[in-house]
């Protein structure tokens, strides 16, 4: 077996049948030039190289797990076919590699071994074989694959199907390392700034039996806690995890869900599926008033008090009217008037995501919903 190391690729040439250069009287140490092996006389018999394939896709591969593929070279010509290692796709070292030749009608295999690195994503490694076939003097062998993350999350995302805005909640996932016997956390962050304040995370090691049952090397339990007060409606966040061990490891845990409440909003422009009140463009000279209702559930709901709180966007004004009992000791509704006053300065809260929306913040005396945040999407134009 002749060995060529190509970064994370190892190329071995396993000979079938052949003869040495010395027996033919050729000087293998003094080739005629850098392009490749010595060519046959142009007016004489020629070699003809045929390769069964030049690319192989391993599909999904685990980092650190050796993959190998044999490429079969056949000489269908009338002259001995010479092979020599050429260029590589990355830095390499060459050990004990000499020229190889294949007699007419015979074959050999070139085995490419690839050890994927830790970086997840598509990967490609190549090794070039030089030949004395005038029609195919260079053959590039390639191995490709999708390197999986060195981590595995179980479950792969956190979904809170329906949570109460006035109550805390939590959920856990397991983070497994497929490479190292210990996970050392470097940093844990929640990148979506407008809701990051409501999220915290704690972690602890998994027991060896659980790790072994998952066919992993080590693992952690991550517990994500949501504080009370998330805005009503759907939300999306993620937990970004970076590690010192594995070195420079990174994994993202998507977090999504929907916030419900004992207090709900109903009326024109309210998009419950997005949790946003849509006001659109407002002419500064005219202003805008939108009338809606707050429905309050619980014991004696008509006794709940509302006040506009700090954090409300300055361009917005709100007024809450007297309650109407819908169902005694169960359900009441409060008129809510949301106003953009005439003469307001030009502002843009249309935004492409929640970070750009305005906020209407209401403090309440409801025991389960001490504060209600309503996202409002609008712009004032002159």
- Model pLDDT, residue 126: 86
> What is the percent of the chain where pLDDT is above 70?
86
- Model pLDDT, residue 167: 79
Question: pLDDT band at 46, cuts 50/70/90?
Answer: very high
For residues 247 and 278, membership in a common domain is answered with no
Average the pLDDT over 164-181 and give the result: 88
Q: 147, 162, 194: which is the final residue of a domain? A: 147
- Torsion, Cα 96 101 106 110, to 10 degrees, reads 40
Please give the residue that has the higher pLDDT: either 325 or 249.
Answer: 325
Q: Are strands 218-226 and 199-205 parallel, antiparallel or unpaired?
A: antiparallel
**Is the per-residue pLDDT at 142 higher than 50?**
yes
Element of type H or E holding 23:
helix 21-24
Structural domains counted in the chain: 3
- Model pLDDT, residue 209: 96
Could you give the count of Cα atoms lying within 13 Å of 13 in the half-sphere of its Cβ? 25
Average the pLDDT over 76-88 and give the result: 87
Helix (H, G, I), strand (E, B) or coil at 229: coil
Per-residue pLDDT of 86-95, as tens digits, reads: 876 653 333 3
Integer Cα distance of 45 and 49 in angstroms: 13
For residues 268 and 353, membership in a common domain is answered with yes
Structural Rg of the chain based on CA atoms: 34
For residues 125 and 158, membership in a common domain is answered with no
Most confident of 61-70, 87-96, 373-382: 373-382
Integer Cα distance of 244 and 75 in angstroms: 51
For residues 175 and 106, membership in a common domain is answered with no
| Burial profile 325-343: b = 16 or more Cβ within 10 angstroms, e = fewer | eeeeeeebbbebebbbeee
- pTM of the predicted protein model: 0.56
Gap between the terminal Cα atoms of the chain: 79
- Model pLDDT, residue 355: 65
44 in Cβ contact with 79 (< 8 Å): yes
For residues 19 and 110, membership in a common domain is answered with yes
Please give the residue that has the higher pLDDT: either 239 or 41.
Answer: 239
Element of type H or E holding 196:
helix 193-196
Domain that holds residue 180: 151-260
For residues 74 and 101, membership in a common domain is answered with yes
Integer Cα distance of 379 and 358 in angstroms: 10
The CATH number that applies at residue 347 is: 2.60.40.10
Q: What value does the mean pLDDT of the chain take? A: 85
- Alpha helices by DSSP H, 111-184: none
For residues 108 and 224, membership in a common domain is answered with no
- Phi, psi (rounded to 5 degrees) for 266: -140, 135
For residues 214 and 306, membership in a common domain is answered with no
Q: How far is CA 87 from the centre of its chain?
A: 33
Question: pLDDT band at 192, cuts 50/70/90?
Answer: very high
**Is the per-residue pLDDT at 137 higher than 80?**
yes
Q: Which of 24, 15, 128 is nearest to 73 (CA)?
A: 15
Q: Are strands 138-147 and 121-131 parallel, antiparallel or unpaired?
A: antiparallel
For residues 134 and 163, membership in a common domain is answered with no
Q: 244, 260, 276: which is the final residue of a domain? A: 260
Q: 260, 292, 310: which is the final residue of a domain? A: 260
For residues 16 and 129, membership in a common domain is answered with yes
DSSP state of 312: S
Tokens representing 153 are 């999350």
**Is the per-residue pLDDT at 170 higher than 50?**
yes
């Amino acid at each position: 077996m002749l060995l060529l190391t190509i970064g994370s690729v190892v190329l071995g040439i396993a000979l079938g049948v052949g003869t040495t250069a010395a027996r033919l009287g050729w000087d293998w140490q003094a080739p005629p030039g850098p392009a490749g092996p010595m060519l046959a006389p142009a007016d004489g018999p020629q070699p003809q190289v045929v390769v069964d394939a030049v690319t192989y896709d391993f599909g999904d591969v685990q980092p650190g797990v050796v993959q190998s593929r044999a490429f079969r070279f056949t000489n269908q010509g009338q002259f001995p076919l010479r092979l020599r290692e050429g260029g590589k796709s990355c830095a390499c070292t060459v050990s004990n590699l000499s020229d190889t030749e294949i007699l007419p009608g015979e074959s050999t295999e070139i085995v490419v071994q690839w050890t994927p690195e830790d970086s997840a994503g598509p990967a490609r490694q190549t090794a070039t074989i030089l030949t004395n076939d005038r029609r195919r003097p260079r053959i590039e062998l390639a191995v490709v694959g999708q390197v999986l993350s060195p981590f595995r999350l179980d479950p792969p995302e956190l979904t809170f199907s329906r949570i109460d805005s006035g109550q805390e909640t939590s959920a856990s996932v397991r983070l497994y390392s497929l490479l190292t016997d210990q996970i050392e956390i470097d940093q844990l962050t929640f990148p979506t700034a407008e809701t990051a304040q409501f999220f915290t995370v704690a972690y602890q090691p998994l027991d060896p039996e659980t790790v072994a049952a998952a066919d992993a090397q080590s693992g952690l339990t991550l517990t994500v806690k949501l504080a009370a007060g998330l805005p009503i409606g759907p939300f999306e966040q993620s937990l970004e995890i970076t590690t010192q061990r594995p070195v420079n490891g990174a994994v993202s845990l998507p977090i999504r869900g929907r916030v419900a409440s004992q207090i709900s909003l109903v009326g024109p422009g309210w998009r419950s599926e997005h949790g946003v009140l849509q006001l659109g463009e407002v002419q500064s000279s005219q202003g805008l008033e939108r009338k809606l209702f707050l429905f309050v559930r619980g014991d004696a709901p008509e006794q709940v008090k509302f006040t506009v709180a700090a954090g409300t966007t300055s361009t917005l004004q709100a007024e809450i009217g007297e309650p109407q009992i819908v169902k005694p000791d169960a359900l009441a509704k409060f008129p809510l008037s949301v106003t953009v006053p005439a003469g307001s300065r030009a502002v843009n809260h249309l935004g492409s995501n929640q970070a750009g929306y305005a906020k209407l913040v209401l403090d309440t005396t409801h025991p389960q919903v001490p504060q209600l945040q309503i996202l409002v999407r609008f712009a004032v134009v002159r």
